[in-house]
Amino acid sequence: MNKDLGVFPFGKEVVEVRQADDSPKSVFILGVYASAVHARWIGANGRELVKSLSVCSESEIFWDGSNQDLIIQRIVVPNDAGKLKPSHLNGESGKALDKHFLAPLHLNRSQVWLSDLLPFFHVRPGSKQEKRIHDTYNNLAVEKGWPVANIRKLSTKFETTVERVYEIVAELVLSGADILITLGDDPLRLFTSRFDQWHRASLSEYASYGNTYKIEIDGRSLLHLPLVHPRQAGRLGNHSSKWSDLHDHWKHGDPSCLIRCRLYDNDLSNVNFDNIPNYCGRNPYSVLQYLIMRFCTYIVKRDKGLAPNPFYGYCTLALCTPNHMGIRLSAGDWIAGFTDRASGNKLVYCMRVDEVLDLDHYYHDQRFQRKKPQHNGTARQRVGDNMYWRDERGVWKRDPEASLHFKKEHFNRDTRHALVYIGRRFHYLGRVASVVPPKFHVLPPAGRGVRTNHEDNLVNDFLSWVQESFEVGITAMPSMFSGTSGCSTDTGSSRKSVVCG
């Protein structure tokens, strides 16, 4: 034990909490700093003195609160100090890790290596915990002759030593993992920014949430997945609704495809390239994307240029059925929109998802400023789909220039699953929507909603047919694109507004 790390109330020494199982792992997860076991302190008179007091180091990294009764019973409490009982706060971050990170990735703890920037407990200066220790416990400890607590303090903008960075790199190498997950901004600021070629030090500096990025550490190429801290994911205490919502969108999709992709990457010899479509070529990255690809089909109810919006070099889908239903798509997936059955289920467009952004990032991204709506602009400008952002409190706002989707139900539906699918490779047919060969008639859903459960061979044939039959980009304008863009005028509003579905 290292007394230099400090002493808890009632005398337990602060110890380092590290990964115990050093067998090879698939994933390396880097958190911030170790927490502690907390207890309710009941005085000798039976009154509660402290609701939650740090009393010893956790039994394992990202402890989930198990066996807390036994752990607290082992703490020697002076007779005149009363007794300790388990706190309801124990294991919150560990439980959040299991529920909001490992479960969506289809992982268990035996498959991951857990680490922290700082592997032992600290207290924040001015925090409630510091006041409980120093103002309540230590005042009595000095008076009664109990062990005086002395726990290191940790400022909000703490730093890590170069030695600790080297230790984490050594852990990462020892783990054998080729996927690195960081939790919160601090691991980005203090660890990955040293190796990231863009030196990104916060989640807000990444283009979209829940995507992976290549990073090289100690000569090894890894996939880096930057995610929020478990307290954000679990909405514990003070948290940002913006980041909590983004994580919810991520986990309710299929993030486990990340693991499947990396497993293929480890052994491409098992891939039958005869079954890989020609458009993938022999590029390993394209092949991997195809192997984990999802294909989403739906009915384009009104083709007005809003959803999808094929203008200014990008086809974007922000305000339509796949978004509203919370279909979680990733880069490399494909979307195809068809007319309804009465119109022959013709193909309106097909796009590859190259990027996924949330509406707020989309609104502020300089690449998509021309997609912001202009009420009195050209037909293309009026149907701009870039109309939502969050204010400093995380509350969704709507661009005052937007004359589409102005009703409350539009607002609520659009921002509930606030993701934008962005494609640079797309085939937009618009008013010359094409009849599809009979074998593909089963692809569109029968009515509203989306379909993603398609046979692989059929999807392969369909995408090959699309790319052989149609030019990339816009073939024709939207079928309802004229005058007011073919949208109906709502006269029930105080402002004459155009309604696009």
> CATH number for the domain including 99?
3.40.470
Is residue 304 domain-resident?
yes
pLDDT band at 406 (very low <50, low <70, confident <90, very high): low
In a domain, 287, yes or no: no
> Are 422 and 322 contacting, i.e. CB atoms less than 8 angstroms apart?
no
Respond yes or no on whether the N-terminal peptide bond of residue 308 is cis (omega within 30° of 0).
yes
> Does one domain contain both 300 and 400?
yes
Task: Check if the beta carbon of residue 109 is closer than 8 Å to that of residue 95.
Answer: no
Model pLDDT, residue 137: 97
In a domain? residue 396 = yes
Mean pLDDT of 231-251: 87
- Both 328 and 181 in one domain: the answer is no
Q: Which DSSP string corresponds to 341-367?
A: GGGT--EEEEEE--EEEEHHHHHH-GG
Query: Within 13 Å and on the Cβ side, how many CA atoms surround 396?
Result: 19
Strands 213-217 and 150-151: unpaired
Residues 353 and 220 in one domain: no
Based on the fold, state whether residues 193 and 331 are members of the same structural domain: no
Last residue in a domain, options 233, 255, 271: 233
Same domain as 182, residue 315? no
212 shares a domain with 108: yes
Mean pLDDT along residues 493-499: 30
CB 484 within 8 A of CB 499: no
Query: Model confidence at 261, in pLDDT bands (50, 70, 90)?
Result: low
Q: What is the dihedral of CA 74, 79, 80, 86, to 10 degrees?
A: 30
296 in the same domain as 208 = no
**Please, which residues have CB within 8 angstroms of residue 402's CB and are 6 or more apart in sequence?**
373, 375, 384, 387
Note whether 323 and 216 are same-domain residues. Answer: no
The rounded distance, in Å, linking the Cα atoms of 331 and 294 is: 10
Residue 498 pLDDT exceeds 60: no
Same domain as 122, residue 17: yes
Beta-bridge mates of residue 423: 315
- Kindly state whether residues 50 and 181 are assigned to the same domain: yes
Mean pLDDT throughout 259-276?
53
Nearest partner of 475 among 424, 433, 439, 428, judged by Cα: 428
Question: In which band, very low, low, confident or very high, does the pLDDT at 89 lie, cut at 50, 70 and 90?
Answer: confident
Name the residue with higher pLDDT: 241 or 46: 46
Domain with 53, as residue range(s), is: 3-233
* Amino acid 280: pLDDT: 55
Q: Is the backbone of residue 313 left (phi > 0), alpha (psi -120 to 50) or beta?
A: left
Q: Looking at the structure, do residues 298 and 229 belong to the same domain, yes or no?
A: no
3: left (phi over 0), alpha (psi -120 to 50) or beta: alpha
Least confident of 106-115, 156-165, 269-278: 269-278
Mean pLDDT across the chain, nearest whole number? 85
Give the total number of structural domains in the chain.
2
Residue located via tokens 């400022």: 155
- Report the predicted TM-score, pTM, of the whole model to 2 decimal places: 0.60
Q: Is the residue at 241 inside a domain?
A: no
